[in-house]
Amino acid sequence: MAIAPLLPSSPGKMPLSDYKPLSNEELSQRIEKAKAKLGKKLLILGHHYQQDEVIEHADLRGDSYQLSQLAANSDECRAIVFCGVHFMAETADILANRPEKLATRNGERVSVILPDMAAGCSMADMAAIRQVEDAWDQLGEVIDTSRMIPVTYINSAASLKAFCGKHGGIVCTSSNAAAVLKWAYERGDRVFFFPDQHLGRNTALTMGITNAQMPVWDPYAEEFGGNTEQALVDSKVVLWKGHCSVHQMFRPEHVAQFREKYPGIKILVHPECPQEVNDIADVSGSTSKILKTVEEAPPGTKWAIGTELHLVNRVKKEHPEQEIHFLSPVVCMCATMYRIDLAHLAWTLENLLVDEVVNPIHVDPDTAKYSLIALERMLEVR
């Protein structure tokens, strides 16, 4: 697996080690105090997978698409603390500091902070820019890549978004993937989809594209991603061999077990689940669609939900009128999201109070410029 290099954590004026021994109660109080002092200069964004203790302090929460919109539209804040993972903070930095926004602030940047630099995404780490560039060059030997549209899932490094921006491509999220594929086929004949093979496959299948038209590109294979030239010539989507280790754990036998034990139960999954699970689910959608589906269902509906554990447990707590189960006998949690804890959040905010920006995420200007092209397309396509 290609591990994206993360910068080391900043030392900060107040060291992180001072916060680790404190109780959650004390940390929560200090976080709220710091928030009150920083006022509108601070915006805390939280992804739905964050643990309850952390998400309670977020000003706004959402799925990846909504969080990108919120960062893009932020006006008053001068610091965004992102309770999520690295690619989300990079996206926020690119959107909050795009030239049009910088002009309205006389060039003043919004600092984007990731409370723990080790909060990466293992799926994003499965595609490195040099591997994508190499694949593109090899594809160019067999097909006309000027008619191929690169689409990167937002769960990817900024360099891959920049690649899409440079090559007439686009970024998608789990909430607009079908609209993005439609956008791509209005502009080309084929799609190169990375890094999540499951989201790419599950979405393309709903558009009538068959598995035979979706070869999988293995970046570690010797030649042509492990495919024959003919398979690439016949392709409609070339899928990258990447996946989410959390959603990979949900299996069709779990669906069968729930259906047998709880007749009438509905299966609700995230489209990062493998095809065998996605195909037999009742509903598939982004984290916000999962929330909305439960919110809008009649009381007493039975659900087995296949997505990250913290979100499922929260939905269960917030909707006692529904019967909610977790669609796996084993714990499937996003270990990197979980790295953001109260100690890191308090440390980040109290350093901000003394004008110290710890763990800044600042995408280099050239990468930001080209990523922005692909991200603005994403925000336009719903």
Chosen residue from 50, 51, 68, 122 binding ligand SF4 by CB under 6 A: 122
Residue 121 marked in a binding site: yes
Chosen residue from 121, 171, 255, 345 binding ligand SF4 by CB under 6 A: 121
- Site membership for ligand SF4, residue 267 (CB under 6 A): no
Which residue's structure tokens are 């706004």? 60
Under rule CB under 6 A, which residues in 133-192 are in contact with ligand 13P? 155, 173-174
Q: Give me the 5-24 binding string for ligand SF4, x by CB under 6 A, dash otherwise.
A: --------------------
CA 318 to CA 193: how far, in whole Å?
A: 36
Strand order in the sheet with 216-217: 170-172, 148-153, 190-194, 237-240, 216-217
Q: What is the 3-state secondary structure (H, E, C) of 59-128?
A: CEEECHHHHHHHHHHCCCCCEEEEECCHHHHHHHHHHHCCHHHHHHCCCCCCEEECCCCCCCCCCHHHCC
Cβ 83 vs Cβ 112: under 8 Å: no
Local structure of 41: helix, strand or coil: helix
Q: How many chain residues touch ligand SF4 (CB under 6 A)?
A: 12
CB-nearer residue toward ligand 13P: 34 or 181: 181
Q: Which does 122 bind (CB under 5 to 8 A by kind): ligand SF4, ligand 13P, none?
A: ligand SF4
- Site membership for ligand SF4, residue 340 (CB under 6 A): no
Chosen residue from 28, 50, 51, 64 binding ligand 13P by CB under 6 A: 64
Residue 47 marked in a binding site: yes
Strand order in the sheet with 111-113: 60-62, 42-47, 79-83, 111-113
Q: Which stretch binds ligand SF4 (CB under 6 A): 32-40, 108-116, 313-321, 333-341?
A: 333-341
Chosen residue from 50, 51, 287, 301 binding ligand 13P by CB under 6 A: 287
**Selection from 101, 55, 102 nearest residue 82 by Cα:** 55
Strand order in the sheet with 323-326: 283-284, 266-269, 302-306, 323-326
Chosen residue from 63, 90, 341, 350 binding ligand 13P by CB under 6 A: 63
- Site membership for ligand 13P, residue 197 (CB under 6 A): no
- Identity of the amino acid at 238: V
Under rule CB under 6 A, which residues in 85-144 are in contact with ligand 13P? none
User: Binding site for iminosuccinate, residues?
Assistant: 47, 64, 153-155, 174, 270-272, 287
